[in-house]
Amino acid sequence: MTTETITRRSLLCGAIAGPAGGAIAAYGATGDSPQAAHPKRWKTAVGLNGFESVRSYGYRMDIQEALEFVRVCGFDGVELVDWPEPYPQTDEQARAVKRMYDRLGLEIMTLQARGLDGSCGSADAASRSRYLTHLKHQVDLLHGWGCKFIAVWSGGPVGPGSEEYCKWTAETWARLTEYARQHGMYVTTEPEPVMATHTFELLHKLVDWIDSPHFYVTFDPSHSTIMGEGDPMDFLKEFRGRVGHVHFTDTDGTRRGEGGTSKHLTLGDGKLDLQALLAELKDQGYDKWIMLDLWRLPDIYRGAYVGKKRLDAMLDTLFGA
pLDDT of residue 321: 77
**Average pLDDT of the chain, as a whole number:** 90
Closest CA to 202 of 164, 153, 254, 255: 164
pLDDT of residue 5: 56
39-319, superfamily in CATH?
Divalent-metal-dependent TIM barrel enzymes (3.20.20.150)
d(CA 290, CA 45): 6
For 150-172, the pLDDT digits (tens) are 999 999 999 999 999 999 999 99
Contact (Cβ atoms closer than 8 angstroms) between residue 311 and residue 292: yes
Contact (Cβ atoms closer than 8 angstroms) between residue 209 and residue 279: no
| Domain coordinates in residue numbering, the chain | 39-319
Helix (H) or strand (E) holding 72: helix 63-73
For 212-265, the pLDDT digits (tens) are 999 999 999 999 999 998 999 999 999 999 999 999 999 999 999 888 999 999
For 191-210, the pLDDT digits (tens) are 999 999 999 999 999 999 99
User: What pTM was computed for the model?
Assistant: 0.90
Contact (Cβ atoms closer than 8 angstroms) between residue 279 and residue 263: no
Contact (Cβ atoms closer than 8 angstroms) between residue 181 and residue 150: no
Q: 45: which residues sit within 8 A by CB, 6+ positions away?
A: 75, 76, 77, 78, 79, 107, 109, 289, 290, 291, 292
Per cent of the chain over pLDDT 70 is 88
